[in-house]
Amino acid sequence: MYDILKTLLALTLFYSHSIVHPIAKRILRVSKMANCRCGMETTKLTSWTDRNPGRQFLNCSRCGFVRRVDPPMCAKVLVVIPGLIRSMNRLEERVAIASAELWNYQLMLFCSWMFFFGFILTSKVVEGSG
pLDDT of residue 93: 97
The answer to the question of residue 36 being in a domain is yes
Q: Is residue 17 part of a domain?
A: yes
Which H or E element spans position 56?
strand 55-59
Q: Which pLDDT tens digit goes with each residue over 30-83?
A: 455 567 778 778 888 888 777 777 788 888 887 877 887 877 778 887 788 888
Residue 126 lies in a domain: no
88: confidence class by pLDDT, cuts 50, 70, 90: very high
Phi/psi at 111 (nearest 5 deg)? -65, -40
Q: Could you list the residue range(s) of the whole structural domain that residue 68 is in? A: 2-97
129 located within any domain: no
Q: Does residue 110 belong to any structural domain of this protein?
A: no
In a domain, 69, yes or no: yes
User: Max CA-CA distance within the chain?
Assistant: 91
Structural domain contains residue 122: no
For residue 54, tell me if it sits in a domain: yes
| Number of domains observed in the structure of the chain | 1
Q: Where are the beta strands (DSSP E) in 69-110?
A: none
Percent of the chain whose predicted confidence (pLDDT) is above 70: 72
Cα torsion angle, 83, 88, 92, 95, sign: positive
For residue range 38-52, what is the model confidence (pLDDT) as tens digits? 877 888 888 877 777
